[in-house]
Structure 1
Amino acid sequence: MQNEIAAIVRALRDLRGSAQEELAEISSQANLSRLEQGKTQVSLVKLSKIALSLDFDLVALVALCQALQDGSSPIDVMAKASKDLEGFIAEGGLQGLKRHWDAGEGLVKRTRGKPSSPDRIRAVLELKASGMSKAEVSRALGLPEATVRRYWLKDLPG
Structure 2
Amino acid sequence: MLRQSKGNTQRSMASSLDQTTISKVESGKHSVTLDVSQKLAAALDLELTALIALTVSRDSNRTPREVLLASLAEIEALGLADTNQTSEPERKVPLNVSAARKKWQAVQELKRKGLTRGQAAKQLGMPESTLRRLWKQVSED
TM bracket, shorter-chain basis:
0.5 to 0.7
Q: Which runs of 5+ in 2 are unaligned?
A: 100-141
Asked if 1:65 corresponds to 2:55, the answer is yes
For residues 88 and 94 of structure 1, do their structure 2 counterparts lie closer, same or farther at Cα, with a shift above 3 Å needed?
farther
Distance 1:77 1:55 in 2: 20
Which residue identity lines up with residue 77 of structure 2 in the other structure?
G
**Which of 53, 61, 70 is the aligned partner of 1:80?**
70
Q: Is it true that 1:107 corresponds to 2:88 in the alignment?
A: yes
TM-score by length of 1: 0.52
Higher relative contact order (CA 8 A, sep 6+): 1
Report the TM-score, using the length of structure 2 for normalisation.
0.58
Structure 1 unaligned segments of length 5 or more: list them: 1-10, 119-158
Q: Assess if the C-alpha contact under 8 Å between 1:88 and 1:94 holds in 2.
A: no
Q: Which residue of 2 aligns with 1:150?
A: none
* Structure (1 or 2) with the larger CA radius of gyration: 2
Alignment of 1:10-29 (within 5 A): 11-29=1-19
1:51, CA displacement in angstroms?
Answer: 0.9
Tell me the amino acid that sits aligned with residue 88 of structure 2. Answer: L
Q: 1:28 to 1:112 in 2, by over 3 A?
A: farther
Q: CA deviation at 1:111?
A: 5.5
| Contact 2:41-2:51 at 8 Å conserved across structures | yes
Counterpart of 1:48 in structure 2 is: 38
Matched length: 101
State the distance in 1 between where 2:23 and 2:61 align.
Answer: 25
- Which of 22, 28, 39 is equivalent to 2:29? 39
Q: In the alignment, what sits opposite 1:3?
A: none
* Closer, same or farther: CA 78–108 of 1 in aligned 2, 3 Å: closer
Give 3-state SS (helix, strand or coil) of 2:23's partner.
helix
- Where 1:89 maps in the other structure, the secondary structure is coil
Q: Does the aligned pair in 1 maintain the 2:17–2:40 contact within 8 Å?
A: no
Deviation of the 1:21 alpha carbon: 0.7
